[in-house]
Amino acid sequence: MDGLRNIEKGFTIWLTGPSGAGKTTLAVKLARKLREMGYRVEILDGDTIRKTLYPELGFSKEAREMHNRIVIHMARLLSRNGVIAIVSLISPYRAVRERARKEIGDFIEVYVYAPLEVRIQRDPKGLYARAMRGEIKGLTGYDGVYEEPENPEVRVDSSRMTPEEEVEAVIEKARELGYLP
Ligand code: PPS
Ligand code: MG
């Protein structure tokens, strides 16, 4: 499509889930689809933001909360200026995600799920292997806390759905909620 389609208000698509569940994959596919539809889109990926801004931060509860607060702020700034912010962030704490919902306002929470066996099998960065060897502690979804969403707008299971089906499910929900025509 030629040119950009202006939506008055942007919104945030918040992809939460443990490491290896498929957040980044879905974020990239969603961004591509929404850009093809003519929207302004920005991906805020936790892993990338950490590496760019504070590679030494680490994964304590306090570190994660501080980092997640920064991402909430970024998503809020983008969303209120007509951009669709796609956040791909483990965001393991329910209270932090509730804060995101409250502060951003126009918000779709997507729980990106895959069973542990599947995440271990995929293990693209070798993190589960390292956790199993005891080389790292507190890997989210293995021996680290992940508080599952109770009422996400969308839940996708990447072990049963194709990324295209996941993209469709999110876009359909965005339409249903009036964020997209
Ligand atoms: S968080 O919990 O919201 O601060 O996480 P996030 O910013 O999304 O960063 C997750 C990526 O960091 C890598 N990594 C770990 N994740 C979880 N727990 C531990 N202990 C850990 N150590 C390193 C990992 O590559 C995560 O990326 P994804 O894409 O989620 O696999
Ligand atoms: Mg990722």
Domain membership of residue 5 (yes or no) is: no
15-68 pLDDT tens trace: 999 999 999 999 999 999 999 999 999 999 999 999 999 999 999 999 999 999
Structural domain of 60: 12-177
23 is in an annotated binding site: yes
CA–centroid distance, residue 20 to ligand 1 (Å): 9
41-45 and 154-157 beta bridge pairing: unpaired
Measured from the alpha carbon of residue 51, the closest ligand is: 1
Lining residues, ligand 1, CB within 6 Å:
19-20, 23-24, 46-47, 50, 59, 64, 67-68, 89-92, 125, 127, 136, 138-140, 144
Count: domains in the chain: 1
CATH of the domain at 154: 3.40.50.300
Task: Please indicate, yes or no, if residue 3 is contained in any of the structural domains.
Answer: no
Active-site residue flag, 91: yes
Ligand 2 centroid–CA 36 distance in Å is 22
Structural domain contains residue 4 = no
Q: Which distant-in-sequence residues (6+ apart) come within 8 Å of 179 by Cβ? A: 7, 9, 11, 106, 108
Q: What is the pLDDT of residues 80-109, one digit of tens each?
A: 999 999 999 999 999 999 999 999 999 999
2 domain residue, yes or no: no
Residue pair 44/83 in contact by the 8 Å Cβ criterion: no
> So what's the pLDDT on residue 2?
55
- Index of the ligand 1 atom closest to the CA of residue 125: 25
Please check whether residue 7 lies inside any domain of the structure.
no
In the structure, what pLDDT confidence band is assigned to residue 7 with cuts at 50, 70 and 90? Answer: confident
Task: Return the closest-CA partner of residue 111 out of 178, 41, 16.
Answer: 16
